[in-house]
Amino acid sequence: MKLFKSFFVLGLCISSVSIHASPLDLQKQFVDLMVDTHHFDRKVVESTLQKATKNQAILQSIAKPWEAKPWHQYYPIFLTEKRLTKGLAFWQTHQKTLARAEQETGVPAEIIVAIMGVETFYGAYLGKYSVLDALVTLGFHYPPRATFFRSELAQFFLLAKEENFDITQLKGSYAGAMGWGQFISSSYRHYAVDFDGDGVRDLLNNPEDVIGSVANYFKKHHWKANADIAFKAQVSGTQYPALLSKSLKYSHQWSQLQAAGVSITEANLSQEMSVKLFEFAQPDTKEYWVGLPNFYAITRYNHSPLYAMAVFQFSQQLKQGFNAATTAKVGH
């Protein structure tokens, strides 16, 4: 809650004076913020911003995110044999670290491995954009979410100072996410951990720190150890569509879904459990799933039910493959 409040206050500071302001005025306001609130040297902030370039490709990318695709076009991007093979190899290589992360946080190894696979194919695709360019472009030239990205730009300046990064050299996604787990600057500052004990929180080059940090992120977002994530559902009648919404908030209990014609066959859920009904489009039909609290936790990493479902289903493939390989090894 304190973290949310701090970001809320920072957002108010950045946005309250920026309505209808030009990009140049916004930059001046940003410089004032960094000087007055965070005690940066004015010339350093100004010279850093001057090194950034507005990138039209970034604006085009954020206007057409993968999450805008229907489910049947989205999931084949991530649920591939190549990604599964790479993920199982990564799990095997980092088995001890993953086991320690799971023991300390309650977050299963397969979820951590799935996140890293979906985000960057295990460090293979870390992003091609200058993080500084991305945050300046979106913070000063993308009105729909400019306030958020200016807040992230402030966090990026703070992160670079704290971690001794060269702020002009870091590469990442079009949205300014960095490293194997694609942490945005605020998440890096507040959830990254030094998991191998070398004194550095390195999410750019150190898989051990990434494993620990992804696990810590989910722990801080209320992951429930040894709890289910989602179940495929059957629907009937005319009441269940009223339960569908674009909001990710869980505003219904399982008993309410049952009363509206939703059922599952794989588990007996508590009547009072907070759940949400999700709809996923297939070419000629629709799938329905009941998301449990851990599914909501995945949407805290990326605010998309498509993303959360891809991570969940990929994690199940990984778990099945890893267990099969372990059983085969024991058999020999």
Active site residues: 119
- Which residue in 134, 152, 301, 300 sits closest to 160, CA to CA? 152
Close Cβ partners of 262 (under 8 Å, ≥ 6 residues apart): 233, 234, 235, 240, 243, 277, 288, 290
| Residues across the chain | 332
DSSP tag of 19: T
Burial status of residue 86 (CB atoms within 10 A of its CB: 0-12, 13-18, 19 or more): middle
Q: Which amino acid is at 134?
A: A
Q: Which candidate, 318, 324, 331, places its Cα nearest to that of 88?
A: 318
For residues 102-120, one letter each, b for 16 or more C-beta atoms within 10 angstroms of the residue's C-beta and e for the rest, the string is beebebbbbbbbbbbbbbb
- Starting at the edge strand found earlier in the chain, the sheet holding 230-235 runs 252-253, 274-281, 286-291, 230-235, 262-263
Please answer whether residues 91 and 98 qualify as being in contact, where contact means their C-beta atoms are separated by less than 8 angstroms: yes
Query: Which amino acid, 277?
Result: L
Contacts of 240 (CB under 8 A, 6+ apart): 257, 260, 261, 262, 277, 288
C-alpha span between 228 and 319 (Å, rounded):
14
For residues 157 and 44, give the distance between their C-alpha atoms in angstroms, rounded to a whole number.
10
